[in-house]
Amino acid sequence: MEKKVTKVTPVKVTSAKPAAAEEETVVEVAEKEAVVKKETKKEAVVKEAAEPKKESAKKTTTAKKTTAAKKTTAAKKREVEKVEEIYLQFQDLEVTTKEILDKAKKAYVSEGHRESSIKSIRLYVKPEERMAYYVINDKFAGGIAL
């Protein structure tokens, strides 16, 4: 039961029209395509003229959302940027507690320690002596002039 395989040769199909007629149809097709393109461009322009109202509505909605987001972000920043300072005033002396704390840390570092090793710090301010005393990590004590 052997099957016979036959080869099929491709057949070239030729047009019944002469070559000149084929050229004319190519030109006619090109002209028709140009007319269609012009019509679609006109339709696109007409559609664009009608659609900007929809797009502008979308843009204004987006702009409103963006503006609202910026306002809330600005409001949050204002809340975060609260200023809390404590001033110590005695006779002609005025210093902030932050200044005293920074001076105490600098004095500790100048003794050869690292600032990152500070676990706890306590300040004792004696304005009548114009001095502040500090205890760091319950081990090191010192004093700084105000």
Residue 59 lies in a domain: yes
| Residue 138: predicted pLDDT | 92
Residues 96 and 136 in one domain: yes
Residue 53 lies in a domain: yes
Q: For residue 107, what are the domain limits?
A: 87-145
Residues 73 and 93 in one domain: no
CA distance linking residue 140 with residue 99, whole number of Å? 20
Q: What is the mean pLDDT of each run of 10 residues along the chain (146 residues)?
A: 60 54 57 62 59 55 66 68 84 91 93 91 92 93 91
Sign, CA dihedral 68-74-77-81, equals negative
- 0.85 exceeded by the pTM? no
Contact 135, 107 (CB under 8 A): no
| Residue 59: predicted pLDDT | 59
Residue 57 lies in a domain: yes
| Residue 110: predicted pLDDT | 93
Residue count (the chain): 146
| Residue 21: predicted pLDDT | 47
Residue 9 lies in a domain: no
Residue 3 lies in a domain: no
Residue 16 lies in a domain: no
Residues 64 and 106 in one domain: no
List the alpha helices (DSSP H) in 51-146: 52-80, 97-110
Residues 71 and 91 in one domain: no
Number of domains within the chain: 2
Residues 28 and 75 in one domain: yes
Residue 4 lies in a domain: no
